[in-house]
Chains A and B, each alone.
Chain A
Amino acid sequence: MRISVMFLALMLTSIGSIASADESPPGSRPDIIRIASGSRTLTLDPTRSWNSGDIETFGQLYSRLFRRDQAGNLQPGLAERWEMSADARTYTFHLRDARFSDGTPITADDVRFTLLRMRDDPEALYSEPVSGVVDVVAVDQRTVRVMLAEPNVPFLDTLEVCFLGITSRADVENRGPGKAFTEHPVTSGPYRVREWKPGDRLVLEANPYYWREGFPRNGGAELIEVIDANTRIAMLLAGEVDAIRQLGWSRAESFRAQGKVSVPLEPANLIWLILLNHAQPPFDDLRVRQAAALALDRQAMARVVLRNLGRVANTTMPASLDHHLADFPGWPYDLERARQLMAEAGAAGHEVVINIAAPSPQMELIGLILQAQWADIGLKTRIVKMDQGQEVQRLMDGDYNASINWWYNENPDPDLALRWAVCGSCGNRAYYTNYSNKEVDRLIAEAAREPDPALRRVLYQRVQRISTEEVAQIPLFYPPWVNAYSHAIEGLGMTPALQWTLENARHLR
């Protein structure tokens, strides 16, 4: 016994002492920014994924025609200047003198290739927002003209979204998309890929040909996939990384108080909500949906689950987007009216299945609270926790009653957001809820063509009012991004559109 204890102690100290002998791990050079995220990088091809881990990386690899500054305003990107025709259907973009990471110039032809690939490739995911593009013409090396079928006011915002990062036509066609996006892709953004270890990390190095003078302000970055939140925190505290994604709502308060790391609570185009299946009883009945919304004490929910890090949601749209209907009361907690509506609908005693994707402690808590509060109006509930694959499948198949979910928008314009969340004729049956209101669909289409911001505002606010009153979904709250940063770096943050401001980051001396 004694021997083995000594043996253990010996092992511990001897291996511990290797620590000092061990060569410094890669990435400890001070100009490398290391980030641990729970999201995974699945692909380096910007046309192929909506996955949040990929959204976090696309923006670091590919520049767009426009970029967004710190204040959130649209600024010239690869397009130095642009003009719009009088009928608002033709845009002409003048490209700056910029190069890909292999040193070849970024031309009008590459822009054409990128836009048309997104529109036409059957597996391209962001095709809907560019489906109105009739044609793209490379006028000369540095001038490109885009023709639209009809005016599309948010078109420039769309061109800023990370999925429309400009890729090299020559490279993709020479190597084929398979190789071009897995083995050292040719990039147009602040970084290029030094090494990609799928399922582990993406090692980036500064792109020497990046068009923004003086950027990135660091030599490179490592985006490390770490699923477990406690591990991410330990890595940050041990100095193995400079920043972590998803600290966890429950931990934010105590970490802010401790002050060892900074937890800035950054605004996000984000909404947490409950999806209800309008095609199945009991939620096919408006009164039951209204009762379900009225029965929720969302203040209490925000306190217990979100720890008051964000506000209770009042409409079906994230509050950070333009034209949010801020003064709308939404659905207050009113048990009496909820019971009354349930009685009118004769729906008491109905069993409702709540789907939850595991593992998500937050969703589970929301599920428990839903269960307790819906029980107060006579809705019996069963929580079914399943792995994400099944959850997505059941959602898309319409095989569910209620599902706890969240979504975020890639830019501050409400167009895509509302098409996604409440439009019944935009391809996803209003986020698979089967909610459908012709008036809403018409207003969304009209607003996309409306050049006057004041009029657009009116239209979008009507959409929010109608869809919230009809309980297209039950909005829960608007959480911020809860990331944690080391005090040893500056300039790193996250935009509302889930983009790291990595090119601004550097270590403090």
Chain B
Amino acid sequence: MTRAYWLLQRLTQLLPVLLGISVICFALLQMIPGDPARIILGSRASPEAVAAMRDRLGLDQPALQQYLTYMSKVIRGDFGESISYKVPVSKLILEHAPVTGFLAVYVIALAVPIALILGMLAARYRGTWVDHLIRMLSVLGMTMPVFWLAILMLRLFSIDLGWFPVSGYGQGFLGHLHHLFLPAVSISIWMIPVLVRNLRASIVQQSVADYVLAGRAKGLTERHIFTHHILKNASLPTLNLFGVLVAYLIGGTVIVELVYALPGLGLLMFNAILGRDYPIIQGLTLFYALATVVITLVTDILSGLIDPRVKA
């Protein structure tokens, strides 16, 4: 009952968040210097052409009116048309979303099992060479610039060995798996260390908690204590961090998409910002917000399932 109520409450909270985001996004776009009409038409356009375009786009109307016009369309499911491409924003997002979505899931599938294993190993054998090695590799993984890694991996796996393609998304499930492998590894190499370090710290912290002593006193096996108590409690902060990271993945894979020429949402956003394509930026921001809010919600629900004490 209470959980259902809590869920309902969370869902109703979603609306103001989305509304808030749309307002802030609109306000921010007003702040960014650079007139879309001028940027799209280029420096050789006549003032008349610029004026004609601004007029057609409604850019000279008051900001509030522009916002209301936009939102009334959004409510009807119309995210408008890209200024430069002149195709519907929803079409562009739907074209680019699968790449990023697939990549995000791929990264999770690669990173989470490895992070769990490494984190547990590091905690279990803390202070030994295992721990040190994992930590050193973690630091290397985090500090290695993505494009260095990309150049090295492309040179080895794509050009010399020919195992993986340099660019693109491929066709079919296996094709995606094949094409996105190097990009997924690139992100994982950076993401695994963040998760490992967090998990390790939590496990180490939990393993000296009172309930562990109590468990030992009750005669529970170390294995039981570890899997049923320590790991469960330790996964909580990591899960939270994981939520943040997944949300970040959806919009934060720009550099990887750029380096591996993947037509994903990050690249779409990058180009839209550089080209001041407001409808794409606004539509993507809302899409991104929706995805993030859903992920946060799922994370919270999972937290609640793991630890019943966590409840708003």
Judged by CB atoms under 8 Å, the answer to whether A and B touch is yes
Smallest beta-carbon distance A360→chain B, Å = 13
Q: Which of A3, A226, A431 contacts B261 (CB under 8 A)?
A: A226
- Please list the 4 inter-chain residue pairs (A to B) with the smallest Cβ-Cβ separation, ordered nearest first: A389-B34, A122-B52, A200-B263, A16-B163
Answer whether residue A40 sits at the interface, using C-beta atoms and an 8 A cutoff.
yes
- Contact: B147 with A230, CB < 8 Å? yes
- Contact: B177 with A182, CB < 8 Å? no
Q: Which of B35, B151, B165, B259 contacts A393 (CB under 8 A)?
A: B35
Smallest beta-carbon distance B6→chain A, Å = 37
Answer whether residue A127 sits at the interface, using C-beta atoms and an 8 A cutoff.
yes
Interface string of B264-287 (1 = CB under 8 A from A): 000110010111100000000000
Please name 10 further chain A to chain B contacts, defined as beta carbons within 8 Å, in addition to the given A25-B165, A392-B42, sorted by A numbering: A1-B130, A4-B118, A23-B175, A40-B271, A51-B42, A224-B261, A227-B261, A231-B167, A231-B260, A387-B273
**A19/B43 contact (C-beta < 8 A), A125-B49, A199-B263, A231-B166 known:** no
Chain B residues 105-157 with CB under 8 Å of chain A are 110, 113-114, 117-118, 121, 130, 133-134, 147, 150-151, 154-155, 157
15 A-B pairs with C-beta separation under 8 A:
A1-B121, A16-B163, A19-B162, A22-B175, A25-B175, A125-B41, A125-B44, A197-B95, A201-B263, A225-B261, A234-B155, A234-B166, A238-B165, A389-B274, A431-B43
In the bound complex, what is the Cα–Cα distance between A3 and B113 (angstroms)? 12
Which chain B residues lie closer than 8 Å to A23 at the CB level?
A: 171-172, 175
Q: Which of B53, B86, B164, B276 has the most CB of A within 10 A?
A: B86
Interface string of A391-430 (1 = CB under 8 A from B): 0111110000000000000000000000010000001100
In the bound complex, what is the Cα–Cα distance between A253 and B212 (angstroms)? 66
Interface string of B243-274 (1 = CB under 8 A from A): 00000000000000011110100011001011
Answer whether residue A86 sits at the interface, using C-beta atoms and an 8 A cutoff.
no
Answer whether residue B170 sits at the interface, using C-beta atoms and an 8 A cutoff.
yes
- Contact: A123 with B174, CB < 8 Å? no
In the bound complex, what is the Cα–Cα distance between A127 and B41 (angstroms)? 13
Answer whether residue B84 sits at the interface, using C-beta atoms and an 8 A cutoff.
yes
Q: Which of A178, A201, A227, A228 contacts B86 (CB under 8 A)?
A: A178
In the bound complex, what is the Cα–Cα distance between A240 and B167 (angstroms)? 8
Interface string of B294-311 (1 = CB under 8 A from A): 000000000000000000
Answer whether residue B11 sits at the interface, using C-beta atoms and an 8 A cutoff.
no
Closest to A183 in B: B87
- Contact: B38 with A392, CB < 8 Å? yes
Answer whether residue B158 sits at the interface, using C-beta atoms and an 8 A cutoff.
yes
Q: Which candidate, A42-50, A135-143, A145-153, is the interface stretch facing chain B?
A: A42-50
Closest to B271 in A: A199
Answer whether residue A71 sits at the interface, using C-beta atoms and an 8 A cutoff.
no
Closest to B151 in A: A230
Which chain A residues lie closer than 8 Å to B49 at the CB level?
A: 122-125, 127
Closest to A235 in B: B166
Q: Which of B44, B82, B157, B261 contacts A231 (CB under 8 A)?
A: B261
Chain B residues 15-56 with CB under 8 Å of chain A are 32-35, 38-49, 51-53, 56
Which chain A residues lie closer than 8 Å to B162 at the CB level?
A: 19, 238
Chain B residues 154-204 with CB under 8 Å of chain A are 154-155, 157-159, 161-168, 170-172, 174-175, 177-178, 181
Which chain B residues lie closer than 8 Å to A228 at the CB level?
A: 147, 258-259, 261
Interface string of A4-36 (1 = CB under 8 A from B): 100110011001101101110110000000001
Answer whether residue B92 sits at the interface, using C-beta atoms and an 8 A cutoff.
yes
Answer whether residue B5 sits at the interface, using C-beta atoms and an 8 A cutoff.
no
Interface string of A167-198 (1 = CB under 8 A from B): 00000000000100110000000000000011
In the bound complex, what is the Cα–Cα distance between A389 and B275 (angstroms)? 7
Which chain A residues lie closer than 8 Å to B52 at the CB level?
A: 122-123
- Contact: B43 with A396, CB < 8 Å? yes
- Contact: A390 with B33, CB < 8 Å? yes
Which chain A residues lie closer than 8 Å to B175 at the CB level?
A: 22-23, 25
In the bound complex, what is the Cα–Cα distance between A416 and B87 (angstroms)? 32
Chain A residues 207-243 with CB under 8 Å of chain B are 224-228, 230-231, 234-235, 237-238, 240
- Contact: A125 with B42, CB < 8 Å? yes
- Contact: A389 with B39, CB < 8 Å? yes
B side interface size, CB within 8 A: 74
Answer whether residue B232 sits at the interface, using C-beta atoms and an 8 A cutoff.
no
Which chain B residues lie closer than 8 Å to A19 at the CB level?
A: 162-164, 178
Smallest beta-carbon distance A29→chain B, Å = 14
Which chain A residues lie closer than 8 Å to B150 at the CB level?
A: 230-231
- Contact: A234 with B268, CB < 8 Å? no
Which chain B residues lie closer than 8 Å to A432 at the CB level?
A: 43
- Contact: B166 with A50, CB < 8 Å? no
In the bound complex, what is the Cα–Cα distance between A42 and B276 (angstroms)? 13
Which chain A residues lie closer than 8 Å to B38 at the CB level?
A: 392-393, 396
Smallest beta-carbon distance A254→chain B, Å = 15
In the bound complex, what is the Cα–Cα distance between A235 and B161 (angstroms)? 14
In the bound complex, what is the Cα–Cα distance between A23 and B165 (angstroms)? 13
- Contact: A50 with B41, CB < 8 Å? yes
In the bound complex, what is the Cα–Cα distance between A395 and B157 (angstroms)? 44
Q: Which of B49, B52, B96, B162 has the most CB of A within 10 A?
A: B49
In the bound complex, what is the Cα–Cα distance between A182 and B168 (angstroms)? 23
Closest to B46 in A: A427
**A240/B44 contact (C-beta < 8 A), A22-B170, A122-B52, A181-B86 known:** no
Smallest beta-carbon distance A399→chain B, Å = 10
Which chain B residues lie closer than 8 Å to A420 at the CB level?
A: 44
Which chain B residues lie closer than 8 Å to A122 at the CB level?
A: 48-49, 51-52
- Contact: B166 with A240, CB < 8 Å? yes
In the bound complex, what is the Cα–Cα distance between A392 and B147 (angstroms)? 28
In the bound complex, what is the Cα–Cα distance between A95 and B232 (angstroms)? 79
Smallest beta-carbon distance A247→chain B, Å = 15
Smallest beta-carbon distance B172→chain A, Å = 7
Smallest beta-carbon distance A30→chain B, Å = 18
**A125/B45 contact (C-beta < 8 A), A15-B181, A18-B178, A230-B259 known:** yes
